[in-house]
Amino acid sequence: MSKEAKEIAEKLKNSHKIAITSHIRPDGDSIGSGLALYLMLKKMGKEVRYINKDIPQPPLTLFPHFEVIEYGDIYPQEFDVVVLIECSTEERSGQKNLNKYFRILIDHHLSNEEQVELNWVNPKESAVAIMIYELSKYLNVEIDKEIATLLYSGIVSDTGGFRFTNVNAKAFRVSSELIEKGANPIEVNRLLFENYTPQKVKLISKVLSTLETFFDDKAAFITMYKSFLDDLKLTDVETEDIVTIVRSIRKVKIVAFLKENDDGTFRVSLRSRDNVDSSKIAEKFGGGGHMHASGFYSQKKASEIKEILLKEFKEINL
Ligand SMILES: [Mn+2]
Instruction: Note whether 282 and 176 are same-domain residues.
Output: no
How many CB atoms are located within 10 Å of the residue 165 CB?
Answer: 12
User: pLDDT tens-digit profile of 188-222?
Assistant: 999 999 999 999 999 999 999 999 999 999 999 99
> Regarding beta strands 219-224 and 212-214, do their DSSP bridges make them parallel or antiparallel, or are they unpaired?
antiparallel
User: pLDDT tens-digit profile of 306-318?
Assistant: 999 999 999 998 9
For residue 20, the surrounding DSSP H or E stretch is strand 17-22
Residue 111: per-residue pLDDT: 66
Grouping H, G, I as helix, E, B as strand and the rest as coil, residue 62 is: helix
Ligand 1 centre and the CA of 128: distance in Å? 5
- In this prediction, residue 112 has a pLDDT band, given cuts at 50, 70 and 90, of low
Domain boundary among 193, 217, 240: 193
Q: Give the total residue count for the chain.
A: 318
Instruction: Note whether 161 and 210 are same-domain residues.
Output: no
Least confident of 112-121, 142-151, 241-250, 290-299: 112-121
Instruction: Note whether 258 and 173 are same-domain residues.
Output: no
- In this prediction, residue 113 has a pLDDT band, given cuts at 50, 70 and 90, of low
Instruction: Note whether 164 and 202 are same-domain residues.
Output: no
Residue 237: per-residue pLDDT: 87
Instruction: Note whether 39 and 160 are same-domain residues.
Output: yes
Instruction: Note whether 136 and 225 are same-domain residues.
Output: no
Instruction: Note whether 75 and 213 are same-domain residues.
Output: no
Domain boundary among 167, 193, 219: 193
Ligand 1 centre and the CA of 102: distance in Å? 23
Ligand 1 centre and the CA of 145: distance in Å? 21
Cα–Cα distance measured from residue 26 to residue 113, given in angstroms and rounded to the nearest whole number: 20
Number of domains the chain is built from: 2
Question: Dihedral sign, CA of 103, 104, 106, 112?
Answer: positive
What CATH code is carried by the domain that includes residue 178?
Answer: 3.90.1640.10
Mean pLDDT for 289-314 is: 95
Instruction: Note whether 246 and 302 are same-domain residues.
Output: yes
CA-closest candidate to residue 115, choices 88, 135, 94, 83 = 88
Instruction: Note whether 65 and 185 are same-domain residues.
Output: yes
Query: Which residues in 122-231 belong to E strands, given as ranges?
Result: 212-214, 219-224
Instruction: Note whether 83 and 221 are same-domain residues.
Output: no
Cα–Cα distance measured from residue 265 to residue 302, given in angstroms and rounded to the nearest whole number: 9
Residue 301 has pLDDT above 70, yes or no: yes
More confident: 166 or 145: 145
Ligand 1 centre and the CA of 297: distance in Å? 22
Residue 246: per-residue pLDDT: 98
Instruction: Note whether 224 and 156 are same-domain residues.
Output: no
Residue 39 has pLDDT above 80, yes or no: yes
What is the spatial order of strands in the sheet that 266-272 belongs to? 212-214, 219-224, 254-260, 266-272, 293-298, 288-289
How many CB atoms are located within 10 Å of the residue 14 CB?
Answer: 9
Query: Which residues in 96-218 belong to E strands, given as ranges?
Result: 103-107, 118-121, 212-214
Ligand 1 centre and the CA of 310: distance in Å? 30
Q: Which domain holds residue 9?
A: 3-193
Ligand 1 centre and the CA of 307: distance in Å? 32
- Ion ligand 1: residue ranges with CB closer than 5 A: 29, 127-128, 158
Q: Name the percent of the chain lying above pLDDT 70.
A: 98
Cα–Cα distance measured from residue 82 to residue 30, given in angstroms and rounded to the nearest whole number: 15
Domain boundary among 169, 193, 217: 193
Cis bond leading into 26, ω under 30°? no
- Angle CA(290)–CA(153)–CA(128) in degrees, nearest 5? 45
What CATH code is carried by the domain that includes residue 215?
Answer: 3.10.310.30
Q: What are phi and psi of 83, to 5 degrees?
A: -100, 120
Question: Dihedral sign, CA of 178, 161, 283, 318?
Answer: positive
Instruction: Note whether 24 and 118 are same-domain residues.
Output: yes
User: pLDDT tens-digit profile of 220-259?
Assistant: 999 999 999 999 999 878 898 999 999 999 999 999 999 9
Ligand 1 centre and the CA of 143: distance in Å? 20
- In this prediction, residue 29 has a pLDDT band, given cuts at 50, 70 and 90, of very high
Q: What are phi and psi of 100, to 5 degrees?
A: -80, -5
- Mean pLDDT of all residues belonging to the chain: 95
For residue 255, the surrounding DSSP H or E stretch is strand 254-260
- In this prediction, residue 89 has a pLDDT band, given cuts at 50, 70 and 90, of confident
What sections of the chain are H helices per DSSP?
3-13, 28-43, 128-139, 145-158, 169-180, 185-193, 198-208, 226-231, 240-247, 278-284, 302-315
